[in-house]
Amino acid sequence: MAEILRNGNLYHIRNDVISYVLMEMPGGVLAHLYFGARLEGLNAANLLRHANIPSDDGFSVQECALDRLPQEYPSFGLGDMRDGALTVEGPDGSWAVDLRVEKAETLDAKPVLEGLPATRGEGCAALRFTMRDAHTGLVALLDYAIYDDCPAVARSVKLVNGGEATLKLTRAYSLCLDLPDDGWDIITLPGAWARERTVCRRPLAAGHQGISSRRGASSAQASPFLALARPETNQDRGEIIGATLIYSGNFMASAEVSQFGVTRVLLGIDDRDFGWQLLPGAEFQAPEAALVYSDEGIGGMSRGFHALWENHLLPKRWMNRKRPVLLNSWEAAYFDFDHDKLLAIAKAAADAGVELFVMDDGWFGHRDDDYTSLGDWTVDRKKLPLGLEGLGKDVRSLGIQFGIWMEPEMVSPDSDLFRAHPDWCLHIPGREAIQSRHQLVLDMGRQEVQDFVVEAVSKTLKASGATYLKWDMNRNFTNIGSAALPADRQKETAHRYMLGLYAVMERLVAAFPDVLFEGCASGGGRFDAGMLYYVPQIWCSDDTDALCRVEIQCGTTILFPPSTMGCHVSAVPNHQTARVTPLETRFAVALGGSFGYELDPCKLTDEERAALRNEVDFANRTQLLRLYGRLYWIQTPFNGNDAAWMSVSEDRKEALFTLVRAMARPNAMPPMVRLAGLDAGRRYRVAETGEVFGGDELMRVGLCCPLPYGDAASLVYTLVAEA
Ligand code: DGJ
């Protein structure tokens, strides 16, 4: 049960599993004392002595005590020599800030973050500190929420100009977490296009380390996340703290080890491309950050985040709900299709039991390649003479749903939209526009652009009757500048873009409550908690090769649950790696998320088509378990030949086990794999073999897994508890 306890100047935020403790120092500086496993109480004397501060009433910000004090929302320049969370330029040109507590209050409800995605406040306790900088009049509202049902604390900061002069925010991070030692490894999720979210782990070292994105999107190259794990922490044991930002744009996640061997974690919008003018009385809301603690290893932290997103962030109407098994036309046809070809694919898909056919890129303007037409969302009658209406109707007559692709945030220089509104894209007047995939980025911060996008998407959905929209975004920002902002506010452009995008998503998901929106950014190039507030799933990667996908899906599930990952079976040789893997393994891997296909079923053999029918049936039968069960990575794919994972239902009566072996080895014994997450006291039947084993046996002795011959072999077992 989440609660907030106050003992004098000590604030203890806790639930059944974790505690977070803060202290108001004499004079009002807000100190951070603890984040970790639940405590019954805390005597601050220890921690103050550690910071070389004799007792709480002996504290003074003089003598640079701030450089040693662990703090909640510090800033640089008035004694603390470490990086701070906030810098504000005042009318005198200085940028130091000194926030002191004015008020602390427990709140009846978690405040809503206006204009930004954030965790919903059901089942939580909330605390707010009102802080003020006497010099500028700046007020900071520091909000904390702790949930009943997950080991997570959500934090956010709202800045209000309570002074009489205009202020300029030059850094407004969302989170600072000061920890009393540096005995941690830092884990981040760097990547690249088609190689998203690889797991990078290294020991903390003196100075700065971390990860960031200045690409205008959270990006394939970096995820707004870092974790600190004890060196001995592994997948299922040991302490770990994870921090992430509920935001989809530029970010900075850093850990600084100071001269005293203490660690400061900072997380927020990257300030290198940020500035915000705050007129007297105006407010700025920084994105929400979420912290999870676990002493059950990386897997424990991941399940903590999964529970936080599933219970408090993902769109409610998709909670625990079945997703349609889909077939997407991209790798089946690319730009080369017409009505009849798509209908034939849709028919073969429907025959295999697929429930939703998605027409990908290439249906509008004169888009026969990626050089043209983004922004001109009118159907290409040469390809689709019956229009979206006709195709939608014909697909539905097969007894399946129709879905469609758009890339609404972009414009091609070769488009009527660009010719009519050349200033609607991000640009710097007088500089050559840098194209990427032959396209430019619309300035989503502008109201008229937002209205255009809402109208274009609405018209498309209405005309086609689509019940699914794949929302793509295929390039990063360059030429960052907005024609709608004056020179001294250009640095607001990137954040205004995100606010505009979120406003558009908000309008669209409200207007089309029955449409399933799937996010995409050249695959998983904007896979973050910000987008997941609006869309329940995101196309995980453009790399559909089964062996690569195991790694990408493993990295992604460090932070996000299986239900959020779009995972498709594609054709072989694989279009990204040219690797040929068995259909069974492509299937086994795609079962790791929201399941679908990315191939032309008309090109399959009769035998493969028959296999598809069984696959769709199996995917459907196991769907709720796979998408919403508790995920255990028994063996991650990063340091060996085998990868194994399990989804276990909440009541531990059902489980799905998957094993993938990359390279065949001759003369090898079949692996014995020790399962996880089961009920030791129950007996489980392996449906595929009919054998029955005790849960204790399966977890302590293991399960013998005879894999088929050949490279990229796999095995999927369903376990059901005996009555
Ligand atoms: C990038 C996406 O990741 C692909 O799945 C596909 O939709 C293409 N864009 C279409 O241009």
Q: Are residues 274 and 334 in the same domain?
A: no
* 65 pLDDT tier (thresholds 50, 70, 90): confident
Distance CA(50)–CA(53), nearest Å, equals: 7
| Ligand 1 atom closest to residue 405's alpha carbon, by position in its atom list | 7
* Domains of the chain: total: 3
pLDDT at 544 over 80: yes
374 and 283 housed in the same domain:
no
pLDDT of amino acid 53: 82
Largest CA distance in the chain: 81
Q: For residues 185 and 282, state if they share a domain.
A: yes
Shared-domain flag, residues 273 and 330? no
What pLDDT is attached to residue 448?
Answer: 98
pLDDT for 641-672, tens place per residue?
999 999 999 999 999 999 999 999 999 999 99
Residue 705 belongs to some domain of the structure? yes
Domain harbouring 534, CATH code: 3.20.20.70
Other Cβ atoms less than 10 A from the Cβ of 105: the count is: 11
Q: How far apart are CA 96 and CA 93, in angstroms?
A: 10
CA of 122 to the centre of ligand 1 (A): 36
Asked if the structure places residue 611 within a domain, the reply is no
- In this structure, the residue with its CA closest to atom 1 of ligand 1 is 522
Q: How far, in Å, from the CA of 198 to the mean position of ligand 1?
A: 21
Please give the structure tokens belonging to residue 372: 């043209």
Mean local confidence (pLDDT), 510-520: 98
Which amino acid is it at 459? Answer: K
Judging by beta carbons within 10 Å of its beta carbon (0-12, 13-18, 19+), is residue 276 exposed, middle or buried? buried
Give me the phi and psi of 312, to 5 degrees please. -135, -5
Q: From 313, 348, 368, give the residue that closes a domain.
A: 313
- Region 37-57: mean pLDDT is 85
- Relative to beta strand 565-570, strand 594-598 is parallel
pLDDT computed for residue 243 by the predictor: 98
Cis (ω within 30 of 0) for the bond into 573?
Answer: yes
Domain final position from 284, 313, 342: 313
**What are 179-233's pLDDT values in tens digits?**
999 999 999 999 999 999 999 999 999 999 999 999 999 999 999 999 999 999 9
Q: Is residue 374 part of a domain?
A: yes
Ligand 1 atom 2: residue of nearest CA: 522
Contact 216, 249 (CB under 8 A): yes
The reported pLDDT for the residue numbered 639 is 82
pLDDT in tens, 246-266: 999 999 999 999 999 999 999
CB neighbours of 93 closer than 8 A, spacing ≥ 6? none
List ligand 1's pocket residues with C-beta within 6 A.
330, 360-361, 405, 472, 474, 520, 522-523, 539, 542
Condensed to tens digits (0 to 9), the pLDDT of residues 626-648 reads: 999 999 999 999 988 999 999 99
For position 50, what pLDDT does the model report? 86
Last residue of a domain, one of 313, 346, 364: 313
CA of 334 relative to ligand 1 center, distance in Å: 9
Q: How confident is the model at residue 52 (pLDDT cuts 50, 70, 90)?
A: confident
Q: Which domain holds residue 269?
A: 3-313
Q: Enter the DSSP assignment of 382.
A: T
Over residues 98-156, the pLDDT tens digits come to 999 999 999 999 999 999 999 999 999 999 999 999 999 999 999 999 999 999 999 99
Q: Provide the percentage of residues in the chain whose pLDDT is more than 70.
A: 99
Residue listed under structure tokens 């091609």? 412
Question: What is residue 64's predicted lDDT score, i.e. its pLDDT?
Answer: 66
Could you tell me what percentage of the chain is helix, strand and coil, using 3-state DSSP and rounding each to the nearest 5?
A: 25, 30, 45
The average pLDDT across 684-695 equals 98
Q: Is pLDDT of 60 > 90?
A: no
| Beta-sheet pairing, 537-539 with 565-570 | parallel
Cα 522 from Cα 473, distance rounded (Å):
7
Look at strands 138-147 and 124-132 and give their pairing. antiparallel
Q: Do 137 and 105 share a structural domain?
A: yes
What angle do helix axes 546-556 and 583-590 make, rounded to 10 degrees?
A: 10
C-beta of residue 358 within 8 angstroms of C-beta of residue 405 = yes
Query: Which tokens belong to 326?
Result: 């889909």
Residue 47 clears pLDDT 90, i.e. is over it: no
Contact 212, 173 (CB under 8 A): no
Report field, pTM of the whole predicted structure over 0.85:
yes
Catalytic residues: 472, 542
- Residue nearest ligand 1's atom 11 by CA: 361
Across the chain, mean pLDDT equals 97
From residue 207, how far is each of 81, 183, 263, 573, 650 by CA, in Å?
12, 14, 9, 46, 42
Distance CA 252, CA 699 (A): 40
Residue 619 domain-assigned (yes or no): no
